[in-house]
Amino acid sequence: MGWKSLDDMDLQGKRVLVRVDINVPVENGQVSDATRIERIAPTVADILAKGGQPILLAHFGRPKGKVVPEMSLKVCLSALEQTFGQGVTLLETLEDAESGDLPAGIILLENIRFHAGEEANDAGFAARIAALGDVFCNDAFSAAHRAHASTTTLAKILPSCAGRLMQAELTALEAALSTPKRPVGAVVGGAKVSTKIDLLLNLVGKLDLLVIGGGMANTFLGAMGASLGSSLQEPDLHDTARDILEQAKSTGCKVVLPVDGRVSRAFAAGAPYELIELNADTVLADDQMILDAGDAAADAIVSEFKSLKTLIWNGPLGAFEIEPFDKATMAAAKAAAELTKSGDLITVAGGGDTVAALNLAGAADQFTYISTAGGAFLEWMEGKELPGVAALQG
């Protein structure tokens, strides 16, 4: 493990600088989805219960080191207060925080990325922030892949620990890939192989089973010789796809590609489709495209799930946003949820499209763990060291 949690810290009478991710969606000046705020509530509650004062450090949007009024954290205040059940004081400038006695209760420091020193990981800026507190608590796993002042350098200046959300993420991810119950498999889907080459190369060395879906699967099928009409694929990555398949063979990782697909001539909701067998000999017309894995493919994937003890999920199996090209993703998600519910499978999922698909399937609540981290989740799956996690480990 190598990192401390809130349970290891004496917080009585201490000011606790808490790096959180409240970069939430906003519509018409109101927070439209408070999930990320709700996920940090246990950390704030525990700090208060241990006699500490939480001082929240967060970013919102990408102001690039400049004060951008439209990216003020003021928009989050109401949702924070509603979630925490008490008032939150926003300090609008760092100078306000440094000027003297801080108010009691929960404090929110204005958008940390209004300062150029944050993303530059400037030691002087980190020292100014550190002077405001006694302890540093990182509860923003979703920002852990960034080597910024508030994610890494603060941890080197102050006694440090992981917050409850960070602790939950790290515990779940370590259990899923570092020390998993085997056999362990993964679903990796989405549009492009190019964005997930490092991920696939890392996974085939660690998994027993790899299910490839979405547009990515087309690139692999094309690499095997299939002619896939106007299907989304990356012909320039056919060699890379073949290399990944060869590496999987050498490490004993079984790769599952769709054995059939929902093929249509229109990318539109309700478009007519055919179920067509997919293999190296498949030849589609120029105007045909694969928009989803087929029924036989979904059945085969579900059958493979039943052989696993641990499943990691990142990416859909088709164009799940539009019917009827959501069928394979929905069927596989519901099956994974049922296996989790019955205690036969540990399931960990992450990534924006993945979470959206699992919610659509009504499966998210049954999964063992759903990561709210996008880029950090992906980089962890790629086997990369996350600076924010490394800093907590000393």
Q: How far, in Å, CA of 162 to CA of 250, rounded?
A: 38
Instruction: Judge contact between 137 and 19, C-beta under 8 A.
Output: yes
Cis, peptide link before residue 272, omega less than 30° from 0:
no
* Residues contacting residue 381 through CB under 8 Å, at least 6 positions apart: 177, 186, 199, 202, 203, 312, 314, 350
Helix (H, G, I), strand (E, B) or coil at 187: strand
Of 105, 270, 352, 394, which residue is the catalytic one?
352
Reply yes or no on whether 36 is catalytic.
yes
- Would you give the DSSP letter of residue 270? T
Which residue is catalytic, options 65, 374, 375, 383?
375
**Alpha carbon distance 34, 146 (integer Å):** 23
Residue 179: strand, helix, or coil: coil
Catalytic entry in 36, 164, 262, 327: 36
Quick one: CA dihedral 298, 303, 308, 309, positive or negative?
positive
Distance CA 139, CA 20 (A): 5
352 is catalytic: yes
3-state secondary structure of 314: strand
The identity of residue 34, as a single letter, is A
Closest CA to 162 of 18, 59, 14: 18
Of 4, 74, 128, 192, which one is the catalytic site residue?
192
How many angstroms separate the CA atoms of 290 and 215, rounded? 8
Task: Give the CA angle between residues 33, 34, 36 to the nearest 5°.
Answer: 115
- Alpha-carbon Rg for the chain in angstroms: 23
Q: What is the DSSP letter of 299?
A: H
- Catalytically active residues are 36, 192, 352, 375
